Amino acid sequence: MTTALAVLALLGVAVAVIALVALHVVPSGLSPLRDPVSAYGISRWRALYRTQTVATAVAAVSLAGALLAAGIPSTLPGLIALAALALTRAPISWVPMDAADAPRTATGRRHNLLAFGAFAAASVGGFMTGIAFSAAGFDGAANASAVLGSVMTVASAVTILASVVRPLRPIFGLAERAIYLGMFAWLVLGAVVLLAR
């Protein structure tokens, strides 16, 4: 069961990454440096964006199941973080962000809460699965998971700053994509550790 769920987690990440790369290749007119990934969700490429968010949720749920099935100690905090990631990524494409030039709406605020929740869950999850891996004697994976948690935390802080500090706005998209990179790497790390144990 652990192996099947870990493989499913890897497949989820693969689909999410392929969709995300495709979003950056299509002629969307969006800037990877400036625009949030969520902006694809209000473009004509919203189906690709939805594929990416749902696939990420599948990866998170699958990894949580694999951790549980593996019987690794101290996994409860990591499981909670993975569940929170899945619960925030799965619905977010049905709760679109507000366009930059549009009035703020309740839907847009809910989108922001879901995005913040997902990034916080992934950041915390990096540290929490690191603790679980350490308890299981996987010291290299524990250190790598903690490093990825740190990368996501710093990138999240820069993203928040870029949303409120005007001179940093041109790098908002870049900082957010660093969170995505850390999140996907963390999910892959967890799945690979469970496959190799």
Predicted confidence (pLDDT) per residue in 49-106, tens digit: 999 999 999 999 999 999 999 998 889 999 999 999 999 999 999 999 999 888 999 9
pLDDT at 73 (0 to 100) = 87
- The tens digit of pLDDT for each residue in 168-192 reads 999 999 999 999 999 999 999 999 9
The rounded distance, in Å, linking the Cα atoms of 77 and 108 is: 29
Q: Token digits for 156? A: 């999240």
Q: What is the pTM of this model?
A: 0.96
CA pair distance 136, 183, nearest whole angstrom: 22
Q: Which of 59, 63, 57, 58 is nearest to 2 (CA)?
A: 63
- Cα distance between residue 177 and residue 37, in whole Å: 8
For tokens 């004697």, the residue is: 137
Confidence class for position 36, pLDDT limits 50, 70, 90: very high
Tokens 């850390």 sit on residue: 182
| Averaged pLDDT for residues 143-150 | 98
Please check whether residue 73 is in contact with residue 132, taking contact to mean a CB–CB distance below 8 angstroms: yes
Residues 101-133 have pLDDT tens digits of 889 999 999 999 999 999 999 999 999 999 999
Predicted pLDDT at 123: 97
Which segments of 44-138 does DSSP mark as H helices, in order?
46-70, 76-92, 106-135
Neighbours of 71 (CB within 10 A): 9
Q: Which of 72, 57, 185, 175 is nearest to 126 (CA)?
A: 185
Cβ–Cβ < 8 Å for 2, 59? no
